[in-house]
Amino acid sequence: MQQHKRVLQEAKKRQGQRPHDRKNKDTMLVEFMMTSMATVARSGSKNTQLVHSSFVPPAYPPCTTSLDDLTPIRIEDLRLEKHHRGRYMLLRAITPPNRMTGILVLVEDEAGEVSLLQLYQQEGEASRAATDVVDKHSILVVKEPFFKTTASGDYSLRVDHLSDIEFLDNGDARVPRLWQPRIMETGQSADALKLEGNALMREGKYWRAINKYSSALVHSAMPQEVKVIKRNRSLAYLKTSQYDAALSDTGFPDFGEETSDKALFRAAEALYHLTRYEECRQTLEKLCKLFPTNQEAVAALARAQRRCDENSTGQFDFKLLQAEAKKHRPPHLDHATYTGPVEVRKVKGKGRGLFATQAMKAGDLVLCEKAFSHAHVDDEKESNASLTLLMNVETEKGFMGGQADLIQLITQKLYKNPSIASGFTDLYHGAYEGVNTNSVGGKPVVDTFLVERTMALNVFGCPITSLKSHKDVSSAQDTKGNKFHSCGIWIKASYINHSCLGNVRRSFIGDMMIIRAAKDIETLTELLFPYEAPDGIYAAKSGQKFTNWGFVCTCPLCGDIRDTPSTVVTQRQTLLQQLNRLCKASSSSSSTGIDMTKKFERLMKALNETYTRPAEQVPRLLLWDPQLLLIRIYMEQHHLTKGLEAIGKILRLLGFTVMGLDRTAAGFVVAKWGHVVDHLVEVFLHARSAFEQLALGEKSRQAEQYARTVYRVVVGEDVSFDQTYPS
């Protein structure tokens, strides 16, 4: 990062200069082809991790001027480190593309001058081949070109905003004569072009088919023919995830005369992907009525109905969701979002926040939200994967893997489907001011840097499922400390502010985020969860944990960390070390004698005395772990009274208020919920076991209910409870 900063500073010194040491065309061609060959060789070799690293330039806005109002500029006239505002370049690719972090290609202008062109935020190879984006002989326009020095000291045109580039069709009047192919499509009929489009569709070349159909439309004047070509193009748009355009091509919402089943079906598909489930359902109902023998439509209607039900009732088949998350890679699940009784409100000092509009009980479903965008990183797969590393010298932040991929995924989604962009662009994006227009000349404008900033302030890491991480944590298999590389954006959940001691908790099943109340919540309470799970360590820099998010946490735990003198922290550490030694000794010897447990209790008491604020206000997160060990020891030894006492202690350490953890017939009640951790399931199950052995059936059932509630909060559902904890 520092080295690149120096490169950038050096480059800045040359800002505005016209470079006089540009390489000639032949040298550039040879060098480019050598680099391309090396990329291919690297990607083909086994057991190598291909790291594509790239430095993000200082943020700059996309072009918001219509092409008609821009004037041309040639490569020769470009100045270094400059955005040539008000200008455009007409270019032709003279090489096939090379895919690195971006797509690289050599281009020439009409004067035959050559430059490297770097295109960023283009789709990944898996969804669109680089040659489908730009290939040898592609003709394109770069709006307000940015010319810069590359990390290797060469010069390049760099395009970060998708909307700053426009590809021209051969038939386009702006294509210079010199670059026009010998056989022009202008001579072809609309019907012939449509047939070519159909052939490309059959070959799976959807992007090229779109171009063919678009050319056909230019040459067609007959309404019926236009309708057919558009209907065909709508399928190509669906295949390339351009749902707004697909919907528009079907003639939705009135479809005109003689509505075809294909148009209705494609409109319904587009609506489904735009998550407009109710309109999708209505369209399919119409289709089923008009074409009652269409079995595909019947199945699609049933699917749309399920999404509508999930959306309105919050009833999900969680067993199915878990099975799907296990099976699908990436784990992108086909389900709707349910939004519970919540609303966005302003909060003093925090911008906006999410509030409960109804009282909720611990375990209640607040949100079950489908990711707006989700980047899956297979944590188990280590080799031969390509990894993107983006470094922003301006903000001194780096994005790796999932987060770097997410910027590209979101940018593409917004560019392809402007109708759903506002959900994302309305999210908090700090001080970055985006451009105040979202379309120019009927084409969407997407600001990559706004996407990057918004992503950084709203992204959440996620496991493949919280069920898996719960099992890992419970069996002490979690060696990564819950650091997940997959990540995503969940729009509604993004309005939730941070507190280390939140009242709701998020969990995941694939790309579905499930938020449940982790406490009983009163109406109009602000919903809060920890952005990072608190560890209870009293370190001086704990308060700086959230500087990346632009705030300092003021929750009671962080307040206590700040107020606790270092002498107390040292004393606590010494006691904890003694306790750890004792734990190790107990695990290596088969018997855990009375002496040892007494020592344990003494140390725990001494540790508790180092805290001044009641655990009800500030949970003692460092202590529940050893306390759990004590519970296990007592339960193993069938010291049920001691076991129940120890359970009461752990719950109080975590801020719970409980009653009835004894041998009496009085009910076992959690009067107030504290901080929920995964191991609480085990704690309540120990209580169930103790009560069972004491023949206190009702209390045992109650303890199991609490275990299930905690499980629901940490895993997201409780249908898998019996399998995870067979009795």
Judged by the rule CB under 6 A, the positions of this chain that interact with ligand SAM are 349-353, 428, 457-458, 494-495, 497-499, 549-551, 553
Rounded to whole angstroms, the Cα distance separating 217 from 221 reads: 8
Rounded to whole angstroms, the Cα distance separating 645 from 635 reads: 11
> Which one, 350 or 638, has the nearer CB to ligand SAM?
350
Report yes or no: 101 and 120 within 8 Å, Cβ to Cβ.
yes
Question: Which residue in this structure is represented by tokens 């706004």?
Answer: 450
According to DSSP, the residues that pair with 71 across neighbouring strands are 87
Report yes or no: 689 and 637 within 8 Å, Cβ to Cβ.
no
> Which one, 465 or 497, has the nearer CB to ligand SAM?
497
* Smallest separation (angstroms) from ligand SAM to the CB of 177: 53
> Which one, 60 or 551, has the nearer CB to ligand SAM?
551
Q: What are the residues whose beta carbons fall under 8 Å from the beta carbon of 212, sequence distance 6 or more?
A: 193, 194, 196, 197, 200
> Which one, 345 or 602, has the nearer CB to ligand SAM?
345
> Which one, 210 or 493, has the nearer CB to ligand SAM?
493
> Which one, 96 or 543, has the nearer CB to ligand SAM?
543
Rounded to whole angstroms, the Cα distance separating 410 from 530 reads: 24
Which ranges of 610-669 does DSSP label H, i.e. alpha helix? 624-636, 640-653
Task: Give the phi and the psi of residue 457 in degrees, each rounded to 5.
Answer: -95, 0
> Which one, 272 or 529, has the nearer CB to ligand SAM?
529
* Smallest separation (angstroms) from ligand SAM to the CB of 421: 16
Question: Three-state DSSP class for 445?
Answer: coil
* Smallest separation (angstroms) from ligand SAM to the CB of 673: 20
Rounded to whole angstroms, the Cα distance separating 362 from 715 reads: 14
* Smallest separation (angstroms) from ligand SAM to the CB of 635: 38
* Smallest separation (angstroms) from ligand SAM to the CB of 513: 13
> Which one, 289 or 346, has the nearer CB to ligand SAM?
346
> Which one, 334 or 563, has the nearer CB to ligand SAM?
563
> Which one, 95 or 497, has the nearer CB to ligand SAM?
497
> On the CB side of 409, how many CA atoms lie within 13 Å of its CA?
18
- For β-strands 155-159 and 114-119, DSSP reports them as parallel
* Smallest separation (angstroms) from ligand SAM to the CB of 612: 23
DSSP, res 95: S
Report yes or no: 103 and 134 within 8 Å, Cβ to Cβ.
yes
CA distances from 342 to 154, 285, 526 (A): 53, 31, 9
> Nearest CA to 680 among 722, 718, 635, 624?
624
Report yes or no: 477 and 335 within 8 Å, Cβ to Cβ.
no
Rounded to whole angstroms, the Cα distance separating 169 from 180 reads: 10
* Smallest separation (angstroms) from ligand SAM to the CB of 161: 24
Task: Give the phi and the psi of residue 652 in degrees, each rounded to 5.
Answer: -65, -35
* Smallest separation (angstroms) from ligand SAM to the CB of 397: 13
* Smallest separation (angstroms) from ligand SAM to the CB of 496: 6
CA distances from 2 to 6, 391, 393 (A): 6, 11, 8
> Which one, 545 or 712, has the nearer CB to ligand SAM?
545
* Smallest separation (angstroms) from ligand SAM to the CB of 344: 8
- For β-strands 397-400 and 386-392, DSSP reports them as antiparallel
> Nearest CA to 236 among 274, 193, 271, 201?
201
Q: Which residue is nearest to ligand SAM (CB)?
A: 351
> On the CB side of 440, how many CA atoms lie within 13 Å of its CA?
21
> Which one, 457 or 473, has the nearer CB to ligand SAM?
457
Rounded to whole angstroms, the Cα distance separating 372 from 420 reads: 10
Report yes or no: 543 and 558 within 8 Å, Cβ to Cβ.
yes
DSSP, res 670: E
Question: Three-state DSSP class for 80?
Answer: coil
> Which one, 312 or 548, has the nearer CB to ligand SAM?
548
* Smallest separation (angstroms) from ligand SAM to the CB of 335: 23
* Smallest separation (angstroms) from ligand SAM to the CB of 450: 14
* Smallest separation (angstroms) from ligand SAM to the CB of 492: 11
